[in-house]
Structures are given as C-alpha cells and as structure tokens.
Amino acid sequence: MRTSITTFLLLLFISGPIRAQDTITLLIRERGMAPRDLVFVTQFTTDLLNKNRGILADVPARPLEKDALLKSREQAAKLLQEARELYKKFDEKGALSKLAGSRAALTAGCGGADAGLLRSLELLEGMIHFTAGRRDAAQLAFSRLAALDPAFEPDPAKVAPKVVAAFREARDAVLKKKPGLLDLAGRPAGARVLLDGKESGTLPAVFDRVPPGNHCLQVCDPAHGAWVARVTMPAGGTVRMRAVLFPNSALGLLKGDSGLPADKDPGELARGFSTDYLALGDAEKSQVTLRLISAKNGKVSEPIVCPVEQLEQLPGCLHKGLLFVHKVLSIPPVVVDLGPPPPPPIVAGPEGSAWYKSWWFWTIVGGVALAGTALTLGIMLYPEADNPDYWVTITRP
C-alpha cells in the first residue's frame, strides 16, 4: 500500500536506493482510525517491509517518561507495604488484592521497578499462597522469584523455615533447567539495559544464561523515552527482541496535526530516531497518508494516499506496491538527484554552427535537386519516348 509505493517514489530523489542493510522506522499516528485497526495497519506494513530483501523496519515504542515511571514505582511500593500489613493481619484476600494493584501500577507489570521490589512481590505472593495451603500456586511464585534472581536467599529471621525450604525446592527445579539466550538489539546504540531491575549493559546486548521463566527488560536513554517489556524465556531457548526508543525531540509528532510540523527540519526528525528513513503516516477514518523522510539529506516524498473504505481493502492496497519494492531494492547503481532533465544537446559544426547551416550541406541538397530536375525534363521532352520499337542500349566502349 502506502509504504511500498512511497519507497518506490522516494528513490527518484534520494541520494541512493534503499538497501537491504538500511533501517526504516514506521510511525503511523492515530487521526480518527480505531485503535485496533491502527494496530493492524502498522503491523501489516511492518511485516511487508521486513519481507522485502531483509530491510529492517520497526516501530518505536510509546515513550515512557521518567517521572511517570518513578511515580508508578512509588505507588507499587506503597501498595506492597499495605499488602504486607494485611498479611500480618491474616487478611489473605486483601493482601493478594493489594499485590495485584502493586503489579498493575507498574508499566507492563515491572516497568520502573528495581530488583528488590520485583523480588519482594514474588516472595510475598508465594508466602501468602503457602500459608493458605495452596502449594502449587506458591511454587509458581517461588519459581518466578528464582528466575529473577537464582542467587536470592530468603532471610531466615523473617521467613518461616518451611517457606524457605519450599523456595529452595522451587529454585533447584529452575536451576536444573537449561538456561536460555536473550538477544536484545535496537536503537539508539549505547542505551542502558536493565534486566530484572539490575544494570546489565548497553544496547545491543546478549545474555546467554537467562534462567527459564518471566523476566523484565527496561531500556533507558537520557534523550529518549524509556522502553519496558516482559520476556518469557523457554528452557534452552532463544528469544530475540528489539527495543526502539522514541526520541524526546520528536514528541511533538504525537500531539501535533497531521503532516509534517512546520517548525521542525525533516532530516533532524528522522535522525532523532537513529534510522535511515522515517515513514510518517496519518491514519484517518477514510484514508491513510504516508510520507517517507530521508535522514541522509532530509528530503520528503510526496504524500501517498490510500483510501480505506473498508479495512479488508488495506492488504490488497499494500500488495499493489510489492513488486515495486522488489524491483527498487534490486537496482545496483546509485540513483542521484539531478533535478529536471536538461534539453537535448545541439550538435555544432566546425565553426560552432549547426550542421544544417553548413555550406556543404546545402551544396549537396542543391546538386541532388538539379539532377532530379534535369532527368525529369529529359524524359518529358524526348520525341520517341512513346515508340515501342525504341530501345536505349548502354554499352561499355
């Protein structure tokens, strides 16, 4: 649909063709389209680009502000403390309700939380279920805790011996399973990575001994909004993820009107996403409009409009440009912006004049015309031209 055709048209004026190693950041803003339909449009367009010659197209995460993450962590810690107080009063349901609220306060159930808060949530839930006799539920909570921190050991002075023994049993079961590999890529390079609330390097990062179970990933950078995701690691498996942060300099794109902001340089906007091209779209009720911006030279394609009378028409509209994408990506030479084509050159004579103004040209034309006239007059005036017995014989002397 929009992206395929835009990719084709943009190559007419960018400094070079879109190559397989280039990255495209796709940002389609909601301008009247239903949120569920917007998710469909964004995902379908991303898949289309990723299937074509290995172009890396991805969608930036919704920006999470640091202040919002801090407030959510404070709210989660407050509810956790209230859950502890209710547990001491043997109010099991009230404590579990507070725990659920504490998790809900965190983005994606873990965003903004440090390692201590995440461990405390799982430990308290396991203790509540163990005390109530729900050993299976307690084992699940203790297993999640062991996956977060295999080296964790409950304080015997604060935790009953039977609970400690149950946790160790769950931890041993987790450690017997083969760890998995977590491959985290994304942009911008060098952003801080926190795995389960602990500093764990920078983008890109690879973790080759991740215990099976649920984990929390957070990526932070001062010039970007935070990124948070929950990860379920299978035993001995591999999970690959991409974290594409939203730059603070482009926050106006989410709040402004459709199209490009007049007070922002398009190239700077695209470069803020650490990408080669920014595909900026507006999803309205009746149509989807897309522009492709080159971070290399700041040029913007003409807006591509795809009418959307019914959502089912979008896949067909997208596929119409699929062949163009294949052809464009296979072009080996560089396409350079030369502006409008120049007029055809005029071939000059020896003295700089046009060939049809040369003396030799008109001499030839005059000779041919004179010979033709003489031949015509000779045929018309010869007296025996109509005598059937008259023959003209030409012999060599």
pLDDT tens sequence across 232-279? 999 999 999 999 999 998 888 887 677 787 778 888 989 999 988 888
Q: What is the pLDDT of residues 187-234, one digit of tens each?
A: 999 999 999 999 999 999 999 999 999 999 999 999 998 999 999 999
For 142, phi then psi, to 5°, come to: -65, -35
Q: What pLDDT is recorded for position 167? A: 96
What CATH number does residue 302 fall under?
A: 3.40.50
By the 8 A CB rule, do 156 and 164 touch? yes
Are 325 and 253 within one domain? Answer: yes
Banded model confidence at residue 397, pLDDT cuts 50, 70, 90? very low
Model confidence at 332: pLDDT above 50:
no
Residues 254 and 316 in one domain: yes
Residue 152 forms part of a structural domain: no
Residue-number span of the structural domain to which 353 is assigned: 343-383
Pair 316, 356 in one domain: no
Residue 238 bridge partners (DSSP): 181
The pLDDT value given to residue 349 = 45
The number of folded domains in the chain is 2
Q: In this structure, what are the phi and psi dihedrals at residue 12, rounded to the nearest 5 degrees?
A: -75, -15
Whole-model pTM: value is 0.70
The answer on 252 and 290 residing in a single domain is: yes
Beta strand 304-307 with 205-210 is unpaired
Q: What is the mean pLDDT of the chain?
A: 78
Residue 302 lies in a domain: yes
Instruction: Quote the CA–CA distance of 269 and 258 in Å, as a whole number.
Output: 15
Q: Tokens for 292?
A: 């492709």
185/21 Cα distance (integer angstroms) = 15
Distance between CA atoms of 183 and 199, rounded to whole angstroms? Answer: 16
Q: Alpha carbon 20 to chain centroid distance?
A: 13
The verdict on residue 10 lying in a domain is: yes
- Give 252-256 contacts, CB < 8 A, sequence gap 24+: 253/27, 253/29, 253/280, 254/29, 254/63
Residues 293 and 357 in one domain: no
CA 230, chain centre distance (Å): 20
**In the beta sheet, which residues pair with residue 23?**
56
**Within a domain: 110:** no
Q: Is residue 118 part of a domain?
A: no
Give CA–CA dist 127/99, Å, rounded. Answer: 12
Tell me: cis bond preceding 204? Omega within 30 of 0 counts.
Answer: yes
**Opening angle at CA 13, ends 7 and 15, nearest 5:** 95
Residue 161 lies in a domain: no
Model pLDDT for residues 131-154, shown as the tens digit of each residue: 999 999 999 999 999 999 999 999
In this structure, the answer to whether residues 321 and 369 fall within a common structural domain is no
Mean pLDDT calculated for residue range 159-181: 95
Band of the pLDDT at 89, cuts 50, 70, 90? very high
Same domain, yes or no: 312 and 350: no
Name which of 22, 45, 36, 103 is nearest 304 in CA terms.
Answer: 45
Model confidence at 59: pLDDT above 90: no
Residue 66, in any domain of the structure: no
Count of CB atoms within 10 A of residue 248's CB?
15
Task: For residue 29, tell me if it sits in a domain.
Answer: yes
Which H, E and C letters describe the chain, residue by residue?
Answer: CHHHHHHHHHCCCCCCCCCCCCEEEEEEEECCCCHHHHHHHHHHHHHHHHCCCCCEEECCCCCECHHHHHHHHHHHHHHHHHHHHHHHCCCHHHHHHHHHHHHHHCECCCECCCHHHHHHHHHHHHHHHHHCCCHHHHHHHHHHHHHHCCCCCCCCCCCCHHHHHHHHHHHHHHHHCCCEEEEEEEECCCCEEEECCEEEEECCEEEEEECCEEEEEEEECCCECEEEEEEEECCCCEEEEEEECCEHHHCHHHHCCCCCCCCCCHHHHHHHCCCCEEEEEEECCCEEEEEEEECCCCCECCCEEEECCCCCHHHHHHHHCHHHHHHHHCCCCCCCCCCCCCCCCCCECCCCCEHHHCHHHHHHHHHHHHHHHHHHHHHHHCCCCCCCCCCCCCCCC
d(CA 278, CA 25): 5
